[in-house]
Structure 1
Amino acid sequence: MNYLKKLVIFTSILLLLFVSSGYCKNKKTVILYLFWAEGCPHCAKEKIFLSDLKKKYPPLQIKDYEVSMPASIELLKTMSKAYNITPTGVPVTFVGNKALIGFSEKIASQIEETIKYCLKNTCEDPLYKK
């Protein structure tokens, strides 16, 4: 019995050291929502850009929704209301505390800066913004 107690204590200490050393820490993820339309050239450019960002930042999760689907439109309306925006077109991107309409070099830069910020800090899932 004494041997068993020592083994349990030793194993517990090893497990504690392993966890506290960072090997078991959950990696931060950044969730980005993209609303796009088929045939939209700006949307196509952003999708390529985001694909490249995903390779550069593996913790990035991209959730994309094509707006011809009624459920996608409802989700876009809900998220837009939470972010206090009125989209006038697509693409519409939600990441961290940002809601961005359209796509340009400036917006691309804002997306990447927000992803970097969210990887260093904690950003909520845009879907749950209240």
Structure 2
Amino acid sequence: MKKIFLIAILSFSIIIYGCDGNGEGTNNNNQSNGNSQESAYEIQPQEGVTQIYYFWGDGCPACDTQNQIWEDLENNEDYKDKININKFETWGDRQNSRLMGEIGSQLGVRTTGVPLTIIGEESFVGVDKNNMIEKIDYCIEYECNDEVIDIINNFE
């Protein structure tokens, strides 16, 4: 009985903490600098460019749909020079998952599921193409406040 209990605890620990073989996650657009005294991420603000923060999970069907929407926008002449989509895979990267939680905590954003997109001061959970594009258009025209960039650049 004790062996079964120990095996269950060990299995549960592996599931909770994950394992990717080398102790490091995979971060799509942002790279860790390896220095614990500085932010693991760095995003530079760009004049006239709307920053979009997108948290997703590898294997998430809704994320696959959202990924296609982002790809279409990135290739669209009307948007490609006006948006920057910062992508953070959270299911296989613990640091990105922690970052998503930190952003949620500081901004009061629900971070219990993916896909999660933050544009300006508005967050979207799930796929909401029309409202997201409406918000992107608004931010391109009126330059929305970006509260996320400082959280990311100061994240350890």
> TM above 0.5, one fold?
yes
CA-to-aligned-CA distance 1:45-82 (integer Å, 9 cap, x gap): 00100111122302110110110212101210121123
Q: Within 5 Å, which residues of 2 pair with 1:98-117? A: 98-103=122-127, 107-117=128-138
State the distance in 1 between where 2:101 and 2:109 align. 9
Q: Is there any run of 5+ residues in structure 1 with no aligned partner, and where?
A: 1-25
Q: Identity of paired residues, percent?
A: 25
Q: Across the two proteins, how many residue pairs are aligned to each other? A: 102
Tell me what 1:60 maps to: 83
Q: 1:121 to 1:129 in 2, by over 3 A?
A: farther
1:22 equivalent in structure 2: none
Distance 2:149 2:88 in 1: 17
- Could you say what the CA RMSD is over the residues aligned between the two structures, in angstroms? 1.9
Q: Flag as ranges the 4+ runs of structure 1 deviating above 3 A.
A: none
Provide TM-score, normalisation by structure 1: 0.71
Structure 1: distance between partners of 2:124 and 2:147? 12
Answer with 1 or 2: which has the greater Rg.
1
Q: In structure 1, what is the Cα distance between the partners aligned to 2:131 and 2:121? A: 11
Task: Please state how far the C-alpha of 1:39 moved relative to its aligned partner.
Answer: 0.6
- 1:27 and 1:127, CA in 2 relative to 1: closer, same or farther beyond 3 A? closer
CA contact (8 A) 1:43 1:90 kept: yes
Structure holding more helix per residue:
1
Q: In the TM superposition, what whole-angstrom CA distance separates every residue of 1:67-108 from its partner, at most 9, and x where no partner exists?
A: 0212101210121123312222110101111111111xxx11
Q: Residue in 2 aligned with 1:14?
A: none
Q: For residue 126 of structure 1, report the CA deviation from its aligned partner.
A: 4.2
Alpha-carbon distance, 1:129 to partner? 7.0
CA contact (8 A) 1:36 1:65 kept: yes
